[in-house]
Every structure is written in structure tokens, then in C-alpha cells.
Amino acid sequence: MPEPPLENIVLIGFMGSGKSTIGRELSQLLGYPLLDTDALIVERDGRPIPRIFAESGEEAFRDLESAVLADLHAGGPSHRVIATGGGIVTLPKNRRLLRRLGYVVWLMVTPKAVLRRTSRNKQRPLLNNPDPTGTISRLLEERTPLYRETSHLAVETDSLNFPEISAGIIESARYFFGRSK
């Protein structure tokens, strides 16, 4: 018998795409607990993210993302909102795990909005360099096909407001979960 699909809503997308804000909104509207892979990594490793990058490197951080996703999948939690780090889609095994966790929603964002939303926060090691604009364009270009192939739904975040986005996601998720029973 195939495993029943987990009924989580999984948010993916670039840094500054609104995953945490929309995650909080969805969590309130649905009454589902919000989990965040970055927070689970910090809890598991004991170091803040910039220190993990500085002391152990990006590859070690990606392995921690895989471990957290594997735990989430093994724990079988359903009816959660799961917000993820922007680079979680870079490893193929993470892309497979994400889709097995539930309904995967890609929050699309333009480079301009990313720059606007991330410029004041220095907690993102990948953008803490002399050319964040160039880094954003390069990473967005590399990751866009990965977000596309991993997601069940892609949502524009530039023109709509967050409550409108959340309402749209809930409607599509209900349809998706209804169909997969």
C-alpha cells in the first residue's frame, strides 16, 4: 500500500520571498503549528546560522537541512505549515523529501524585492558580501528551475498582499488534498 500523503503546506522560495510572514499567516488561519527548517537547524546544531556557515561551510549547512527534512518526514507530522531556507532545493534528495512532506508552494519574488526586503538584515551569510545584487541575480537564476520543479503551486508575491496570498494558498491546498484522498 502506498503511504498516505502528508497534509502539510511547505513553503519554498528565495530569501526575502515572505516564507516566514506567510507561514505565520497560514498557521493562524488554519490553526496548524508553524515549523521553520532554519530554526530546527539552529536547535539541532546549537549555533546560529552565520556561525555554521563561517565555521563549517555551506555544504555542512546543506547536510543539516537534509537531516532536518528527513526527521520531519520520518516523524510523519501532518497539518503543519513548514517554512524552509531559500537554498533547501539545491540538493536533489531535499527536493524529493519536500514533495513527500505535502503541498509545496513556491513564493516567487523579483530581485528588486529581494534586495529591498533583505538589505537591513545581516543574518544571511550568502548576502553578506560587497555585491549582494549580483549574488541575488546569480542565485535566483540558478535556483528558479529548482523551485519550479519542486513546487505544486507557484505564487507571485510582488503584486498581491500577504493576506490575499495566504487565502489563495489555502484554497488551492484544500483542492489538492481533497483530490489526493
Nearer to ligand S3P, 3 or 59 (CB): 59
Q: Which amino acid is at 82?
A: I
CB of 40 to ligand S3P, least distance (A): 11
Nearer to ligand S3P, 25 or 176 (CB): 25
CB of 92 to ligand S3P, least distance (A): 16
Q: Compute the CA torsion angle 12, 16, 17, 20 (nearest 10 deg).
A: 60
CB of 42 to ligand S3P, least distance (A): 10
Contact 98, 104 (CB under 8 A): yes
Nearer to ligand S3P, 34 or 177 (CB): 34
Nearer to ligand S3P, 21 or 78 (CB): 21
**d(Cα 157, Cα 113) in Å, to the nearest integer?**
9
Nearest to 144 by CA among 116, 168, 181, 114: 114
Terminal CA-CA length for the chain: 14
**d(Cα 55, Cα 44) in Å, to the nearest integer?**
16
**d(Cα 46, Cα 174) in Å, to the nearest integer?**
36
Nearer to ligand S3P, 58 or 164 (CB): 58
CB of 121 to ligand S3P, least distance (A): 8
CB of 181 to ligand S3P, least distance (A): 31
Which residues bind to ligand S3P, rule: CB under 6 A? Answer: 15, 19, 38, 49, 85-87, 124-126
